[in-house]
Structure 1
Amino acid sequence: MATFEKGILGGFTGKVGNVVGTRWRGKNVMRSLPQRGKYTATEKQEEQRQKFKTVIGFLSPIVAIVSRYFGSPRGDKSRANLATSYHLKNAVISTQTGMVMDYAKVLISKGDLRGIDGGTVAAAAGHTLDFAWQDNSGQGKATATDALMVVVYAPDLQLFYNNLAVATRDATTATVTLPEFMTGFDVEVWASFSKPETDFAAISTYMGTVTVL
């Protein structure tokens, strides 16, 4: 890139031959057009692209959740950036059929709030899921009014269901009714706690795979 005070006809903008002229920080600037050529990604680069595509495709429908509850922003990295980075490093694996998410390592939230102890989930009639957990109010920053959040994903449908205020921590049980179209499908389930009206949350717990009845 070169700068100049006066060209042949003074400063110019736009493309002339293989040179582009523009103004940058109050100066006349010229740069050559990039050389175009054939580029073939290495196997490692293509693998990383597929990982990124898989993670972004998975997180996009729940970006509002991770953008609010996944850790704390660091410099120019948003919570969504941190969630993407975490899942790229820890929660996507290569298989013979391509990249897939490692659901057991997926996190929907990440924070210092006390998480779920003794959590269970079971399918019940009427496309519902029954949850149970221990009341660990008073441990760390946990309080009885912390809200249970639930995220459910049906891989075959590539669809999510979420409810960010299912019950309070001291309730110890709750029932979630899923959309009827999820009946008969296997779903992956995560749960966590958050403090109402804040972005303070726990590290989410993977509850396992359940077949919706």
Structure 2
Amino acid sequence: MAICKVGPFGHPSGKIGNMVFYMLKGQPVCRSKGKPGKPSLKQKANQEKMKVTMQLLKPMKDFINVSFKLESEGSLKNPHNLATSYNKKQALTGEYPNVKVDYSKVMLSYGALEMAAAMKVSKGASGLNLSWDSGIVENGELDDILMVMVSHPTKKRASSFLNAAKRGDGSCFIPLDKEWMMAEQMEVYVCLKSSNEKLISDSIYAGNLNGAPESPLEKAEKEHYKATKARFDQVAADYEHKRMDYAEGVIGTKAFRYLEKEYQVLKERLKHLPGKPS
């Protein structure tokens, strides 16, 4: 049941049929509620994209609440909504059901503050070393604060450093206190915010450390290539042996022609088959 607090022509609050009415940031909102039907292929693809995006951003909540705070002010969207909207559209690659994150395209902040140039990241004994150009810029101050996000995708976790250093420092050390952190995949992002927190820069992708594990699709492709290559090696050896006999006129059977056809097909297939060792 819905209630109209300001009379019959006011915005209701509650449920009417399969519609739910409520207020969001001072704005009246209405959404449908009910059991959904069987999803279409397009809906399944959208659901997977949302799932992959949520897995990426959920561990980054503390960072995103700060990095997208300025942009969300005065809108109906919260910081997480903004981060989800951009990265779902721009930071994913692949087609359903093999959607994955393109980490180089992930954005964790938008703003007019000038980002530091020549950002570099490397592994230390128990953390990360970051360095950048600490010179004076046209749109920024030396006391701008460096924010660092280290994503650990294989663990579905992230490490936020909201006050890592100042622009003028030119370098900093990011401690990682878990042993597994130094061995697992790391994706590093950096942005700057002004000391009065009224400005923020676009985030930049500082890079990957420790590489990335193979996806299920990549593993399957490698296994398929390996099996195909093993069959080709077997057929090739048999073909070369019998081809010599065929040249001497010993073999001229249908079985040999089938063997020759399989050899040619497998040879051509291996040229274009994904999963070949690099």
Please tell me the TM-score bracket, short chain as reference.
0.7 to 0.9
Contact 2:48/2:97 (<8 A) preserved: no
Number of residue equivalences = 185
1:37 and 1:96 map into 2 onto residues whose CA distance is: 24
Mean Cα deviation higher: 156-165 or 176-185: 176-185
Number of the residue aligned with 1:173: 171
- Structure 2 SS opposite 1:48: helix
Counterpart-to-counterpart distance in 2, 1:58 and 1:188: 11
Moved more, 108-117 or 38-47: 38-47
1:69 is displaced (CA, Å) by: 1.7
Q: In the TM superposition, what are the counterparts of 1:156-195 in structure 2 within 5 Å?
A: 156-180=154-178, 181-195=180-194
Distance 1:151 1:37 in 2: 38
Once the two structures are superposed, residues 50-87 of structure 1 have per-residue CA deviations (whole angstroms, 9 ceiling, x without a partner) of 11121122212222322322251253122321111101
Structure with the largest fraction of helix: 2
| Unpaired runs of at least 5, structure 2 | 9-15, 20-33, 212-278
1:115 corresponds to: 115
Q: Larger radius of gyration, structure 1 or 2?
A: 2
Contact 1:186 1:211 in 2 (8 A): yes
- Supply the AA of the counterpart residue of 1:194: K
Match in the other structure for 1:102? 102
Q: Which amino acid aligns with 2:56?
A: F
The answer for the alignment partner of 2:57 in structure 1 is 59
Amino acid at match of 2:210: T
Letter in 2 for 1:49: Q
1:117 & 1:168 partners in 2: Cα distance? 14
Q: Residue deviations 1:131-172, cap 9 Å, x none?
A: 1100243321x1011111111112211211121111111111
Q: Measure how far apart 1:117 and its partner are.
A: 0.4
Following the alignment from structure 2 to structure 1, what is the Cα–Cα distance between the partners of residues 17 and 134? 66
Question: 1:80 maps to what in 2?
Answer: 80
Separation in 1 of the partners of 2:132 and 2:85?
30
SS of structure 1 residue aligned to 2:50? helix
Change (3 A) 1:105 1:199: farther
2:262 alignment counterpart: none
The 1:42/1:173 distance shift into structure 2, 3 A limit, reads: same
What RMSD in Å do the two structures reach over aligned CA positions?
A: 2.6
Call closer, same or farther: CA 1:92–1:79 in 2, change over 3 Å. same
CA–CA distance in 1 between the matches of 2:110 and 2:18? 45
Deviates more, 1:42-51 or 1:190-199: 190-199
- Match for residue 149 of structure 1? 147
Which SS does the other structure have where 2:112 is aligned? coil
**1:139–1:45 CA distance, 2 compared to 1 (3 A):** same
Q: CA–CA distance in 1 between the matches of 2:119 and 2:18?
A: 60
**Correspondence list, 1:30-41, <5 A:** 39-41=37-39
Q: Which has the higher strand share?
A: 1
Amino acid at match of 2:136: S
Distance 1:185 1:157 in 2: 8
Whether the aligned pair in 2 keeps the contact of 1:68 and 1:199 (CA below 8 Å) is no
Following superposition, the deviation at residue 197 of structure 1 comes to 4.7
Q: Percent of aligned pairs with the same residue? A: 24
Q: Structure 2: how far apart are the matches of 1:151 and 1:76?
A: 26
| Structure of higher RCO (CA pairs closer than 8 Å, 6+ residues apart) | 1
What stretches of structure 1 of length at least 5 have no aligned partner? 1-21
Taking the aligned partners of 1:188 and 1:24, their CA distance within structure 2 comes to 49
